[in-house]
Each structure stands twice: as C-alpha cells, then as structure tokens.
A and B are shown apart, each in its own frame.
Chain A
Amino acid sequence: ELSQEQQAILSFIVEAYQKHRIPQDMAKKLLQEHFNADENFLLLTEMATSHVQVLVEFTKNIPGFSALDHEDQIALLKGSAVEAMFLRSAQVFTRKLPHGHTEVLEDRIRKSGISEAFITPMFNFYKSIGELQMMQEEHALLTAITILSPDRPYLKDQQAVERLQEPMLEVLRRFCAMQHPLEPQHFARLLGRLTELRTLNHHHAEMLTSWRMS
C-alpha cells in the first residue's frame, strides 16, 4: 500500500500532469488543417515549444523542485525536455483516438522531412510504450522520474536531485505492485523505457540537424 504521504504525492503529481498539457486548439490544428511542408515544419516547431512550456509548468509542481539551485533546475529541464516530450507524445499515440486521427498525425510526422532513420525508432518507442498499457499515474510519475535524473550534464548538486527522485521511484514501485500484482516485472519494464528514451534523446540533436537541412 501507499502511505498517506505517498498517496498525497501521487495525487499531486497526477493532477499537475493532467492540468498542464498542450492547448487544445493547437492539438486540433494538427488534426484538422492541411498545411504545406513549411507550415508543417512551423506547426511542429510551435508544438515542441508548447511542449517545453507545459513541461516547465508541470515540473514546478514536483515536490522540492523549486528549492533546487536555479541553474540545476535549468540543467534538469534541458537534459530531460526531449525525453519528456517523447513520453507525452507516446501517450497521444497509444490513446484510443477517434478513427483516423492517429493516421493523420503519423502521416504529418512522416511528411515533416525528418529522415526515416529517426522516424522508425520513434514509432517503435511509441509501440513499446503502448504495449505497457500505462495508466495516467504511471505516465505522470515516469515523467517526474525522468526530469529528476541525477546524471544530467552540468548538474552541480546530484545528491539533492537523488533525494527528490528516490521517493518518486518508491511511489511508482508500490503503485505498480498494487495495480499489476500478476506482473512483477511491470516496474522494471517501465524503467527499461527510460533507457530507450535516453537513446532517442541521444539521436535527437542529429535528427534536428537532418531536419533543418532537409
């Protein structure tokens, strides 16, 4: 079971995760309007910017984050933005959307000029997240855990970050045990996705370069 304090952390994190999301009108634009390649590029860029702004608002709600050194806050966000973005996008692709919406989204991304070599691992990741049938609580906690990675570049006080990440890991571990009693590997599988995210993050800079050139 979760302690009262752990339950409070979980509710708080989930509420913040649900509250801070990309504005609906922007998401609608992505589905409803037709764009040429340049406008497509601009829209995806605006979405990425919005993703980062939403991520920062969510992160401010993670218990203890605001008390961290200001430059360390930036190092954590810079280091995790891409991973958190892929995690949030994975949720879009695994949710049951109205008929045809997933295809429109996938088509738009495939026609954005990003090279196939980067698109395939991205959709493989979305698929592997989909297989886990993650609950909203797991998404919110995993995002918080990703942000609070103590090994990000330029981080000065790693121990302070570890102290914030550990309780989140424990809440996720217990939550998994409660929700998936017949799948003892579920928690380990979730953490395994973080390793995949690292790989995507690693290739992201390369992907952007190829996209810009294209």
Chain B
Amino acid sequence: PASNLGLEDIIRKALMGNLEE
C-alpha cells in the first residue's frame, strides 16, 4: 500500500503520473 512508501517515493511516483500504482 501507498502508506508503506516514503515521502520521496510518493512524490516521485506522483510526479511521473503513476498515481494508480
């Protein structure tokens, strides 16, 4: 789940537009 990701991982994913992952 997203809650297990660190802040930077969440930012990187969101910047790349991979919110659905």
Contacts and interface: CB of A to CB of B under 8 A. Distances in A.
Interface residues of B, number: 12
Nearest to B3: A45
A74 B8 CA distance: 7
Contacts of B1: 46
A57 interface: yes
Of residues A45, A56, A73, A81, which shows the largest number of chain B Cβ atoms within 10 Å of its Cβ?
A: A56
A73 B15 contact: yes
A46 B3 contact: yes
The dominant DSSP class at the B interface is helix
B11 A77 contact: yes
A45 B19 CA distance: 16
Nearest to A66: B15
B1 to A, nearest CB: 8
B13 to A, nearest CB: 8
Nearest to A44: B3
Given A46-B2, A46-B3, A52 B10 contact: yes
A73 B12 CA distance: 9
A81 B15 CA distance: 13
A49 interface: yes
Contacts of B2: 46, 49, 53
A49 B5 contact: yes
B7 to A, nearest CB: 6
16 contacts: A46-B2, A46-B3, A49-B5, A49-B10, A52-B10, A53-B10, A56-B14, A56-B15, A73-B15, A74-B8, A74-B12, A74-B15, A77-B11, A78-B7, A81-B7, A81-B11
CB-based closest 7 A-B pairs? A56-B14, A45-B3, A49-B2, A77-B11, A53-B14, A52-B10, A46-B3
